[in-house]
Amino acid sequence: DSGVTQTPKHLITATGQRVTLRCSPRSGDLSVYWYQQSLDQGLQFLIQYYNGEERAKGNILERFSAQQFPDLHSELNLSSLELGDSALYFCASSVGASGTNEQYFGPGTRLTVT
Amino acid sequence: AQTVTQSQPEMSVQEAETVTLSCTYDTSESDYYLFWYKQPPSRQMILVIRQEAYKQQNATENRFSVNFQKAAKSFSLKISDSQLGDAAMYFCAYRSANFGNEKLTFGTGTRLTIIP
């Protein structure tokens, strides 16, 4: 158990809908990262937050947004869902945002868009 | 931009034997970190081992060790005394040491099968 929690574990929804994925980092970790794992794109970095502020953006679609709250949990919002958004979404956390701080991954949320 | 290449989509090894998984990367940076992550059927991403580019000594964690060749931009993972629980997808990952660029860049993975 990495100490990073993600809810829900599974999510099935229809095209055009909107969903919210939630992540709670390990106790004491200030940085949260979101990654998407799909069959065609592999593991891709989406976005990073550090202590409530957006720090880096990767290949995140405009339909997707995220935030980190004062208690450091983070949410990833996916809207106008398409079939191609079906994937495993991981949250990871690290103590800081530099140095040798390793990223510890949550169990992921499997999103299926039908 | 950095890229990570894993040229072996699948590998297999007899239980108790040794196997080496290959990884190459491309970067213009001099300071960075390299990682191997394991993803078993449960889909959990588990950190196996890490290497700091400024360290010449290869990292070792129990039965797992790496062969880091900085000039060749190569970072292979050796698993000794393979066990059934080692069966998983293994991902090589790169992380810059630059401030504000802490994302992980992953390779496409190598599926490791352990033959009893």
Q: How many CB pairs under 8 A join A and B?
A: 60
- Tokens 């970067």 found at: B27
Dihedral sign for Cα A24, B101, B103, B31, please. negative
Section A73-96 average pLDDT: 95
pLDDT at site B94? 96
Interface test with B, best of A5, A47, A103 (most B CBs within 10 A): A103
Nearest chain B alpha carbon to A55: B100
Contact A87, A56 (CB under 8 A): no
Cβ–Cβ of A102/B101 closer than 8 Å? no
Identify the pLDDT of residue A1. 83
Answer yes or no: is pLDDT of A59 > 90: no
What pLDDT score does A39 carry? 85
> CA of A81 to nearest chain B CA: how many angstroms apart?
23
Mean pLDDT of A97-105: 75
* pLDDT confidence band for A98 (50 / 70 / 90): low
pLDDT at B61: 93
| Confidence label for B115 from pLDDT (cuts 50, 70 and 90) | very high
How far is the CA of A89 from the CAs of A85, B1, B42, in angstroms?
Answer: 10, 23, 14
Contact call for residues A35 and A48 (beta carbons, < 8 A): no
Residue A102 banded pLDDT, cuts 50, 70, 90 = confident
Q: What is the pLDDT of residue A100?
A: 62
Can you name the residues that pair with B41 across neighbouring β-strands? Answer: none
* Beta carbons of B106 and A42 less than 8 Å apart: yes
Residue A104 touches chain B, beta carbons under 8 Å: yes
**CA distance linking residue B92 with residue B108, whole number of Å:** 8
